[in-house]
Structure 1
Amino acid sequence: MKMNRILTVLGLSTIFSVAANAQYSDVPPKESPMKMKPEMTEIWEPEVKVITPGKLPWDAPSDAIVLFDGKNLDNWVSQKDPKKPAPWKIINNEYMEVVPGSGGIQTKMKFGDCQLHIEWSAPDVVESVGQGRGNSGVFLQNRYEIQILDSYNNRTYANGQAGSVYKDHPPLVNAMKSPLEWNTYDIIYRAPRFKPDGRLDSPATVTVLHNGVLVQNNVTINGLTLYIGLHNYPEAHGEDVISLQDHGNKTQFKNIWIRRL
């Protein structure tokens, strides 16, 4: 009797097994994933725009806006009174020199995200020390300063020397040349973004190469680069001018160009 029960159970199990197999016998086997082909990860459109780079690394590419090439100051105006022409001097049809006391200058055009190239030199004659030597600055969107200073054998506070985001980030290294040589800044700038209600959405960031050396590596600008007080973003703003500072020194500038990004 017990043996019959076991055989009955085994028989039922076999029946259920056969039935189950029959139930799924019409389901096709799972397909293998499609094999990847090289062209599946290729981007063809839109085609990348063609530009002509400068012959030398510091020359303006074909899509750049040349802000100063030594010939005139037509792209600049007085910062004290934007209705008046820029009051700085052009020397030898090559470079411009700050006229101390005349005030800063600013571009007629406004910019946001950009790549900016600028060459500058401290006054040939070394005078004073610290912040008194070749002091100027390039202001992005007329608010955020990349410091210009004669930091060649000239100690000052680290976030105020050449290559610093003024009073915000010291440069990674001091790549300054002597006062008789020209320095270059290549600046990659991403402007801050603001929400519709005016609150900050994302802060500005900047990368700076000083004489070809990375001194600011995509750092966050923490707000207005104030001389006194903590930095912040007090109000929303859009594109604005590039400005150069008159800090009382005869700092010199040449070969300035910019690309919108």
Structure 2
Amino acid sequence: MRTHGMRNNVFKTIATVALLAPTLSACAATEEKLEPWQQAQKTEVWEPVPAVVATPVNKAPSDAIVLFDGTDLSAWESVKGGAAAWTLGGDTVTVKPGTGNIRTKQSFCDVQLHVEWRAPKPEEGMDGQLRNNSGVFFQERYEIQVLDSYDNKTYPNGQAASVYKQTIPLVNATRPPGEWQAYDIIFTAPTFSGEKLKTPGYVTVIHNGVVVQNHVEIQGTTEWIGAPKYQAHGCAPIQLQDHDNLVSFRNIWLREL
């Protein structure tokens, strides 16, 4: 009985294929008759249509959140409480030593950040980490180092554009002191399931047009002493660091991703 049943199944399969053969042949023939442009249309996707973003030269994109355009510090506050107390002048804001870090009033997760910074010419004897130090902190925890790293020897995972004390830049793209530097940073925030890390953070850093961090994994919080670590948190502000040095900033904007 089993052999007879198997034979029937085989016959049914052959019969089905025979019935489908004309249809398959017709489809193949139709495919062959299509013009190249008709065949190409089959892989065209027309929706969704990306939003249009204006990109004026030397200005923030039209969909950006402008954090500092040279006029005021209304988007910022002191981490010590109250208004940001750094010094405004021209189109720049400069660290006022001793006033403390400043942070955005708004919290962010995944972002594209543009920030320009300038270190003054160093005083005699100022070398290493004393060479006009500051930093850009994402979510108040993860620092991209700001430092005059032009002809300035220090530990490489602490030089300009490093993920501080974690990842060494691919190259040193620092311009001489007194010149403006530009960071374009893509930051992917870590995610958590309860108190447990679900996915780590990642960062790409472009320094003066050069990729120096290529989607590197953030190992945890920035620590001066000890190993980095993760602790669950949500979206949080961006901080600029007061390291008692007269570092200036301008043209700060971001796009939420």
CA distance in 2, matches of 1:39, 1:137: 50
Q: Does residue 19 of structure 2 align to residue 28 of structure 1?
A: yes
Q: Percent identity?
A: 51
CA distance in 1, matches of 2:232, 2:85: 30
Are 1:172 and 1:216, in contact at CA under 8 Å, matched by a contact in 2?
yes
Q: Which runs of 5+ in 1 are unaligned?
A: 1-19
Measure how far apart 1:133 and its partner are: 0.8
| 2:129 partner SS | helix
CA distance in 2, matches of 1:121, 1:158: 20
CA distance in 2, matches of 1:150, 1:200: 34
Report the equivalent of 2:238: 242
Q: Where in structure 2 are the equivalents of 1:87-236 lying within 5 Å?
A: 87-92=85-90, 94-127=91-124, 128-195=126-193, 197-233=194-230, 235-236=231-232
CA distance in 2, matches of 1:204, 1:173: 22
CA 1:153–1:238 in structure 2 vs 1: closer, same or farther (change >3 Å)?
A: same
My pick for the range that moved more, 46-55 or 204-213, is 46-55
Are 1:126 and 1:179, in contact at CA under 8 Å, matched by a contact in 2?
no
User: Residue type of the partner of 1:248?
Assistant: D
User: Residue type of the partner of 2:153?
Assistant: R
CA 1:21–1:242 in structure 2 vs 1: closer, same or farther (change >3 Å)?
A: closer
CA distance in 2, matches of 1:24, 1:248: 84
After TM superposition, the score normalised by the length of structure 1 is 0.85
Report the equivalent of 1:52: 54
Q: Does residue 252 of structure 2 align to residue 256 of structure 1?
A: yes
Aligned residues: 235
CA distance in 2, matches of 1:105, 1:214: 27
Are 2:122 and 2:131, in contact at CA under 8 Å, matched by a contact in 1?
no
CA 1:253–1:37 in structure 2 vs 1: closer, same or farther (change >3 Å)?
A: same
Measure how far apart 1:148 and its partner are: 0.3
Measure how far apart 1:103 and its partner are: 0.4
CA deviations 1:73-110 (Å, max 9, x no partner) are 111100111xx100100012x10110111101000011
Are 2:122 and 2:132, in contact at CA under 8 Å, matched by a contact in 1?
no
After TM superposition, the score normalised by the length of structure 2 is 0.86
| 2:19 partner SS | coil
Q: Which runs of 5+ in 2 are unaligned?
A: 1-9, 32-37
Rg (Cα) greater in structure = 1
Report the equivalent of 2:39: 37
CA distance in 2, matches of 1:37, 1:65: 43
| 1:70 partner SS | coil
Are 1:141 and 1:242, in contact at CA under 8 Å, matched by a contact in 2?
yes
User: Residue type of the partner of 1:249?
Assistant: N
CA RMSD in angstroms, aligned pairs only: 2.0
